[in-house]
């Protein structure tokens, strides 16, 4: 057969868990092969084994029919295998070019020959339509571009087998479309692609075949032409999954969050990134801020949660002015926040799961007494959250978070936030990286929070999620709110037009803000 890569009977265990249990995966030349499975099913582990980051305990890997040893990423690279990781592996303070050549620096007598590299890269980026500024620093460029850097890294090394671990989780819909086209182009050229995603639509759109894992075991490999979304999700979770959210019409109460004429200055330039924005979120409704990345929504959320400061305007929660309040006090007043960047803000990766689960409440009476942390209370509380939110890991509350799968890390953050009694829930990309089953569950919980009479402010790049979950959509474009839409009477296309800035409503101040006065 013409398999480029065969991973045969791979078994890999971590303390307390078998991440891959006798898994076999065969990759054809020139195909796009999707890998699907619940959070913690072992997808990243399997791919890390192929890329040489982990070694299998049992089983073998063949390339073009010959058994190969892959002990480290260098071996993988020599075999033409490249990988874009779930969490990017870039040096923040290096330029794009420096990052790409890192490890394979072209040199003459030990001196860097950047010019050669630059020429090759320019050609590559032109050939594949991967636009990039080679001299920008990684820390200054958005995630979508960082991903292009990771892709160019593989191309620069002439890799023929490309592994993408959840590449679309961090991208906007437009960028996803672009990436899928690029992947199709690769496949046409004869490169073979392994593609991990939780989004079934993407698999249906781009993949040739799909292998499903369940709790570390191989569940089946199917031809995409002969399957449906429903069948795939059934194979993966073993039950039917609802793709739309069921919710009753909202019972709207008083204004909980009020944002009045808020302006935020950009950290880099002298320009304002949020311009004189006013809106309200009331008890019992889910309001979504929709917009293309980089239009000020991140900053807007940050000033509400206290991560950034406003330059003008006023923010209040239940009529209390919180504009200059500390994060801890906002949290005490009832703001709960699911952050965008889970590794940066959400977790202390080297702490255990239980310690992370109390990160926002270890100081509360009950969890501590006179400054001493009550270990048993923390342990019991963590165990409860773990079972309630189905957080899967090797060693339960004691697991170090760094070793948990991406989706389960996200679940830990969500569990911590949703479990807290709050007045206002600010959820930024809450379901990023979660499997369909978990998304269904989290959506239920968010709707539940709303039905308990709490206010919910949502930010998501996922248009389906925006349309499904929210009661009201505020579209932000270039730092201004350009439209207020009702998801029931608006189409996705219309929303897209607003987000792209080609449609605008004149808003003479927010009507709800007026109501209050």
Partner 1 sequence: MQNSKNNFSASMKKITKSKWLSSFSATLLAISLGLIFGLIVMVVASPTDSFSGFGMMLFGGFSRLGNVFYFATPILMTGLSVGFAFKMGLFNIGASGQYTMGLFFALYVGIMFNLPSGIHWIVCIIAGLIGGMIWGFIPGLLKSLMNVNEVITSIMTNYIGMYLVDMLIRNNGKMFVSSKARTAYIPATAQLPSLGVTDSNVNIAIILATLIAIILYIVLYKTTFGYELMATGHNKHASHYAGINYKRNTILTMVIAGGLSGLGGAFAILAPSNIPGSSMTYEPINIIAANGFNGIAVALLGNSHPIGIIFSSLFISHIQRGGTRASLFGYKPEIIDVVIAVIIYFSAFALVMSSAIGVVIKKRKERKAEAVNTVKEIEEA
Ligand X SMILES: Nc1ncnc2c1ncn2[C@@H]1O[C@H](COP(=O)(O)OP(=O)(O)OP(=O)(O)O)[C@@H](O)[C@H]1O
Residues that bind ligand X (CB under 6 A): 14, 17, 19, 37, 39-45, 86, 392-394, 403-408
From CA 513, how far away is CA 496, in angstroms rounded? 26
Residue 12 interacts with partner 1 (CB under 8 A): yes or no: yes
The minimum distance between CB 298 and ligand X, in angstroms, equals 23
The minimum distance between CB 43 and Mg ion, in angstroms, equals 5
Return the residues of window 51-90 that contact partner 1 according to CB under 8 A. Answer: 55, 57
The listed partner (ligand X, partner 1, Mg ion, none) that binds 328, CB under 5 to 8 Å by sort, is: partner 1
CB count in 10 Å sphere of residue 370: 4
Nearer residue to Mg ion within complex by CB, 213 or 475: 213
Residue 14 interacts with partner 1 (CB under 8 A): yes or no: yes
Cβ proximity of 49 and 10 under 8 Å: yes
The listed partner (ligand X, Mg ion, partner 1, none) that binds 392, CB under 5 to 8 Å by sort, is: ligand X
At 28, phi and psi to the nearest 5?
-85, 155
* Six-digit token string for 343: 């590794």
Residue 204 interacts with partner 1 (CB under 8 A): yes or no: no
Nearer residue to partner 1 within complex by CB, 82 or 216: 216
Burial class (CB in 10 A: 0-12, 13-18, 19+), 67: exposed
Taking phi over 0 as left and psi of -120 to 50 as alpha, with beta for the rest, 215 belongs to: left
Nearer residue to partner 1 within complex by CB, 20 or 192: 20
Nearer residue to Mg ion within complex by CB, 44 or 197: 44
Q: Tell me the residue number closest to ligand X, measured at CB.
A: 407
At 288, phi and psi to the nearest 5?
-115, 135
* Six-digit token string for 482: 């350009």
* Six-digit token string for 28: 């054809």
Helices then strands, each counted (H, E), the chain: 17, 24
The minimum distance between CB 235 and Mg ion, in angstroms, equals 18
Contacts of 258 (CB under 8 A, 6+ apart): 280, 315, 316, 513, 516
CB count in 10 Å sphere of residue 303: 22
Residue 122 interacts with partner 1 (CB under 8 A): yes or no: no
Residue 373 interacts with partner 1 (CB under 8 A): yes or no: yes
Residues that bind Mg ion (CB under 5 A): 44, 86, 405-406
Nearer residue to ligand X within complex by CB, 166 or 510: 166
Residue 244 interacts with partner 1 (CB under 8 A): yes or no: no
The minimum distance between CB 94 and Mg ion, in angstroms, equals 25
Alpha-carbon torsion angle 156, 162, 163, 168, nearest 10: 80
The listed partner (ligand X, Mg ion, partner 1, none) that binds 40, CB under 5 to 8 Å by sort, is: ligand X
Beta-carbon-side half-sphere exposure of residue 107 (alpha carbons within 13 Å)? 10
Q: Tell which one of 307, 333, 377, 497 touches partner 1 (CB under 8 A).
A: 307
Report the DSSP beta bridge partners of residue 265: 272
The minimum distance between CB 405 and ligand X, in angstroms, equals 3
Size of residue set near partner 1 by CB under 8 A: 35
* Candidates 12-20, 192-200, 253-261, 487-495; binding stretch for partner 1 (CB under 8 A): 12-20
From CA 404, how far away is CA 391, in angstroms rounded? 9
Local structure of residue 27 (DSSP, 8 states) = E
Residue 377 interacts with partner 1 (CB under 8 A): yes or no: no
The listed partner (ligand X, Mg ion, partner 1, none) that binds 39, CB under 5 to 8 Å by sort, is: ligand X
Distance of CA 304 to the CA centre of its chain: 21
The minimum distance between CB 54 and partner 1, in angstroms, equals 9
The listed partner (Mg ion, partner 1, ligand X, none) that binds 362, CB under 5 to 8 Å by sort, is: partner 1
The listed partner (Mg ion, partner 1, ligand X, none) that binds 123, CB under 5 to 8 Å by sort, is: none
Place of tokens 């779930």: 86
Nearer residue to partner 1 within complex by CB, 145 or 359: 359
Nearer residue to ligand X within complex by CB, 307 or 349: 349
DSSP 446-513: HHHHHHTT-EEEEE-S-HHHHHHH-SEEEEEETTEEEEEE-TTT--HHHHHHHHTTS-----SS-HHH
Cβ proximity of 197 and 435 under 8 Å: no
Build a one-symbol-per-residue string for 310-329: x at contacts with partner 1 by CB under 8 A, - elsewhere.
----------------xxx-
The listed partner (partner 1, Mg ion, ligand X, none) that binds 110, CB under 5 to 8 Å by sort, is: none
The listed partner (ligand X, partner 1, Mg ion, none) that binds 404, CB under 5 to 8 Å by sort, is: ligand X
Q: Tell which one of 112, 228, 363, 502 touches partner 1 (CB under 8 A).
A: 363
Cβ proximity of 47 and 35 under 8 Å: yes
Q: Which of 22, 20, 54 is nearest to 215 (CA)?
A: 20
Residue 116 interacts with partner 1 (CB under 8 A): yes or no: no
Burial class (CB in 10 A: 0-12, 13-18, 19+), 225: exposed
Nearer residue to Mg ion within complex by CB, 404 or 466: 404
From CA 473, how far away is CA 486, in angstroms rounded? 6
Residues at the site binding partner 1, with contacts judged by CB under 8 A? 11-18, 55, 57, 307, 326-328, 331, 337, 339, 344-351, 355, 359-360, 362-363, 368, 371-373, 375
């Amino acid at each position: 057969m013409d398999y480029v890569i065969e991973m045969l009977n791979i078994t890999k265990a971590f303390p307390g868990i078998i991440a891959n249990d006798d898994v076999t995966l065969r990759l054809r030349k020139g195909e796009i092969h999707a890998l699907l499975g619940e959070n913690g099913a072992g997808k990243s582990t399997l791919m890390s084994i192929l890329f040489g980051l982990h070694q299998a305990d049992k089983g073998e890997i063949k390339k073009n029919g010959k058994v190969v040893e892959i002990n480290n990423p260098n071996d993988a690279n020599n075999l033409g295998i490249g990988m874009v990781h779930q969490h990017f592996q870039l040096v923040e303070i290096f330029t794009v070019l420096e990052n790409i050549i890192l490890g394979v620096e072209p040199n003459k007598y030990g001196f860097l020959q950047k010019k050669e590299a630059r020429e090759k890269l320019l050609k590559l980026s032109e050939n594949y339509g991967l636009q990039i500024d080679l001299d920008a620093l990684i820390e200054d460029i958005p995630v979508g571009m960082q991903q292009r850097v990771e892709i160019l890294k593989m191309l620069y090394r002439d890799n023929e087998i490309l592994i993408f671990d959840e590449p679309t989780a961090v991208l906007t819909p437009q960028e996803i479309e672009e990436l899928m086209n690029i992947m199709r182009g690769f496949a046409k050229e004869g490169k073979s692609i392994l593609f991990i995603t939780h989004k079934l639509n993407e698999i249906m759109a781009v993949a040739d075949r799909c292998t499903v894992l369940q709790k570390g075991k191989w569940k089946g490999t199917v031809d995409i032409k002969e399957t449906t979304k429903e069948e795939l999700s059934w194979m993966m979770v073993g039950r039917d999954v609802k793709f739309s959210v069921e919710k009753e019409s909202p019972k709207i109460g008083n204004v909980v969050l009020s944002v009045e004429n808020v302006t935020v200055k950009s950290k880099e330039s002298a320009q304002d990134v949020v311009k004189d924005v006013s809106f309200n979120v009331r008890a019992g409704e889910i309001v979504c801020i929709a917009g293309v990345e980089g239009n000020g929504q991140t900053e807007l959320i940050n000033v509400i949660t206290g991560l950034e400061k406003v330059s003008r305007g006023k923010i209040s929660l239940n009529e209390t002015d919180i504009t200059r309040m500390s994060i801890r006090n906002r949290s005490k007043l009832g703001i709960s926040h699911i952050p965008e960047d889970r590794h940066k803000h959400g977790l202390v990766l080297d702490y255990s799961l239980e310690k992370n689960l109390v990160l926002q409440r270890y100081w509360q009476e009950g969890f501590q007494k006179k400054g001493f942390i009550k270990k048993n209370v923390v342990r019991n509380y963590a165990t409860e959250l773990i079972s309630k939110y189905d957080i899967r890991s090797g060693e339960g509350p004691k697991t170090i978070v760094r070793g948990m799968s991406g989706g389960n890390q996200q679940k830990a953050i969500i569990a911590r936030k949703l479990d807290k009694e709050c007045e206002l829930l600010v959820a930024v990309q809450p379901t990023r990286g979660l499997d369909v089953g978990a998304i269904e569950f989290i959506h239920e919980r968010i709707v539940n929070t709303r039905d308990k009479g709490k206010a919910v402010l949502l930010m998501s790049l996922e248009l389906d999620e925006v349309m499904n979950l929210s009661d009201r959509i505020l579209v932000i474009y270039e730092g201004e709110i350009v439209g207020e839409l009702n998801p029931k009477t608006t189409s996705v296309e219309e929303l897209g037009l607003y987000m792209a800035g080609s449609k605008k409503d004149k808003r003479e101040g927010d009507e709800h803000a007026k109501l209050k006065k």
